[in-house]
Amino acid sequence: MYYGSRTNYGQALGILMLNTGFPRIPGDIGNATSFSFPVLYKVIEEAKPFNITDVDPKLLTPFIRGAQELREKGVRAITTSCGFLAPFQKELAAAVDVPVFTSSLLQVQYVYPFLRPDQKVGIITANAQALGDRHFEGVGISRIPKALIGVENTAFAKTFFTDSGRMDEVRAEADLVAAAKKLVGENPDVGAIVLECTNMPPYSAAIHDAVGLPVFDIITLANYVYAALEPRRFKGYM
């Protein structure tokens, strides 16, 4: 017996989106084909690329409203489209009765134990100057050894921070690969890389190929959570 209360069903993951106009290619969190399962988007109109890195406290209320709206529509977990929302982790998680993961940076705390004791987690961020203690405290990674590099002065960053309507995918990949190589070159003790920015997953494979390290991004985190929401039913034979 089934009982209904909504218009649509089957979208386990809800995504709180910034209000943007730049291209979102496959792999980007804003492209639904990045996922192997259905997702439901909610745009937060007040959240723009130019005001998100500062994480204006005034944005918390609309993000909470957005999370609650997604929950009312039936999602069973919620994420966001910007890793810089890490300071809102506790407040957003408290606002709804389903798991919330605001930032790919949450993975730093479970990646680090995988590594040798003398290694650290590398983080590639859209803006290293803006990413700091309150983001790390928000997701509980302040005390974890990490190395950080930003791409704020690249064509990749310009596309997103200026909300450009055009994107050079080849150049963007070159920017991310160059950053990864520099990160590892200056920090040979980096044992894995976490991509803060939700626009970076299209280049995870290229980064991996370039430096030979495991690469974690918002899509790997979403897949991890979804696997818990929809546990696999095993079939086989003995």
pLDDT tens across 16-37, in order? Answer: 999 999 999 999 999 999 999 9
> Is residue 70's pLDDT more than 80?
yes
The pLDDT tens digits for 94-149 are 999 999 999 999 999 999 999 999 999 999 999 999 999 999 999 999 999 999 99
For all residues of the chain together, what is the average pLDDT?
95
- In this prediction, residue 99 carries a pLDDT of 97
Q: Over range 64-77, report the average pLDDT.
A: 97
Q: Please state, in angstroms and rounded to a whole number, the distance separating the CA atoms of residues 205 and 237.
A: 34
- In this prediction, residue 66 carries a pLDDT of 98
- In this prediction, residue 6 carries a pLDDT of 83
What is the number of alpha carbons within 13 Å of residue 93 lying toward its C-beta? 14
Q: Please state, in angstroms and rounded to a whole number, the distance separating the CA atoms of residues 86 and 194.
A: 14
Amino acid (1-letter code) at residue 24: R
DSSP bridge pairs for 203: none
Q: Please state, in angstroms and rounded to a whole number, the distance separating the CA atoms of residues 4 and 74.
A: 11
Q: What is the DSSP letter of 48?
A: -
- In this prediction, residue 2 carries a pLDDT of 83
> Is residue 228's pLDDT more than 80?
yes
Higher per-residue pLDDT: 213 or 155: 213
Q: pLDDT class for 49, splitting at 50, 70, 90?
A: confident
**Residues sharing a CB contact under 8 Å with residue 200, sequence separation 6 or more, in sequence order:** 124, 126, 176, 217
Q: Please state, in angstroms and rounded to a whole number, the distance separating the CA atoms of residues 80 and 167.
A: 22
Domains of the chain: 13-103+222-229 (3.40.50.1860), 104-217 (3.40.50.1860)
CA angle 67-6-82, nearest 5°?
20
Q: Are 12 and 230 in contact (CB under 8 A)?
A: yes
Q: pLDDT class for 3, splitting at 50, 70, 90?
A: confident
> Is residue 55's pLDDT more than 90?
no
Quick one: what percent of the chain has pLDDT higher than 90? Answer: 85
Token readout for 151 is 């791409």
